[in-house]
Chain A
Amino acid sequence: EAQVTQNPRYLITVTGKKLTVTCSQNMNHEYMSWYRQDPGLGLRQIYYSMNVEVTDKGDVPEGYKVSRKEKRNFPLILESPSPNQTSLYFCASSKPRDRGFSEQYFGPGTRLTVL
C-alpha cells in the first residue's frame, strides 16, 4: 500500500531535549516536505527536499533541521525544542512532473507538545 508514515504519532517532551520525528514513504517520490499546522494559521511549510542531499527552507524553518540521506526518508530534527514548537506536524511526499504539479501524499501527523 502506497503510504507516508511518521513516528512517533504523539510526543510530549521538555524544552531543550533534542528530538527527531521520522518520515518515510514507499512511493519512490523525489519531493518530500514537512509542514506544521496551528489553529488559525493553516499549514505552513518548514522544509522541503527535491531529492537526496537536496533540501531547502520553507516558510518557517527556524528551530528545525532536516536531512535527506535516502530517497525514502526525511527526518525532522528539533535540536533544542521550545514551547512555541508545540504543534501538529505533517510529512508529505510527491513526484514532480516535468509539467504541472503532482499531488502530495500526507502522513498521519505527529502531535508534539513541548513543556
Chain B
Amino acid sequence: LAKTTQPISMDSYEGQEVNITCSHNNIATNDYITWYQQFPSQGPRFIIQGYKTKVTNEVASLFIPADRKSSTLSLPRVSLSDTAVYYCLVGDLILTGGGNKLTFGTGTQLKVEL
C-alpha cells in the first residue's frame, strides 16, 4: 500500500484558497486517492476522491498530475469552520482477494484565522 506524506500543519486566513499536497511516490496502478476531513473528537468525513487529472465537487477540488505521485487538495475561500485535520489516503478496495488494508498518514492540521 502506498505510503503518504503530508505537511504536519498549515495556517491560513478566512477567504483564502488553501492547497494541501500529499506525496505518494509508490502509488499502484489501481489505487485511488481519497481525502478526509476530521474535526476534534469526531470520525473522519469523506471530502473527495479521484484517480487522475482534476476532480471538483461542492466543497473542494483535487488535482492529480499525470505521474500520480502526488495530489493536491484545494479548498476555495476557507472559513473558520474549515479548521480541521485533513488526511490523504491512497488505496483501493477490491471485492476479492487480499490487500485491502488501508493506511492513513498523520494528516495535516489546518488552522484558519480571521
Contact = CB atoms under 8 A, between A and B. Distances in A.
Main secondary structure of the interface of B (DSSP, over half): loop
A108 B42 contact: yes
Interface stretch (B60-68, B73-81, B88-96): B88-96
Interface residues of A, number: 36
B101 A108 contact: no
A35 B94 contact: no
Contact of A44 (B91, B100, B104): B104
Contacts of B101: 45, 48, 56-59
Contacts of A106: 43-45
Given A96-B94, A109-B41, A45 B102 contact: yes
Given A41-B106, A96-B93, A108-B43, A48 B100 contact: yes
B104 A42 contact: yes
